[in-house]
Structure 1
Amino acid sequence: MKFSTVMKWITALGEGFLAIPIIGGAFVIGTGYSALGVMFVLHVITLVLSIRDMQGKVGSILGLLTSVVSVIPVFGWFMHLITAIVLLISAITSRRTSVI
């Protein structure tokens, strides 16, 4: 499995956790919104790896946008949910090759 696919799985799980209505919101607020900064950095890393591996980039770009607009409560939840789904689909459909 390529590193970009592994990062898609990791970011999809992170976005999925943040999409849990009360728990994800409490986590974001409890960390002083730094969780969104961490997710932004992880999405940048995933995007760079996806470009290098010539794989789908939509999930990572959507994740970057989500990290920025997630300070809006209900809209942020919706964006985390959509981003998690897109990243999961992208990770599942990635070409299966081994890491060298």
Structure 2
Amino acid sequence: MTEGLRIASADVVRHGVLQVRWADGTSGLVDLKGIIARGGVFAFLSRETAFAKVSVSADGRGVQWTDPDGDIISIASDALAARLNVVTDLAA
């Protein structure tokens, strides 16, 4: 995977965990529970309903959520890739 790679899709697997697919076909689970637990700007994602509203940024360079104040909170593609656990089958 190259630095700055675009994200094709991001889906919630369970609270705090995303299935991310990059444009090059790389796919895997990204565990964000540690980031959420640290609080700060990500504290609102401790609510399952907030985490479930993830979307891919328009340029594909990250995933994002809108916090209760209306601010866009994002995590860059490269940061997600650093937390990637590559899987070939979610059932495995």
TM-score (structure 2 length as normaliser): 0.28
Q: Larger relative contact order (C-alpha < 8 A, sep ≥ 6)?
A: 1
Higher helix share: 1
TM-score (structure 1 length as normaliser): 0.27
Higher strand share: 2
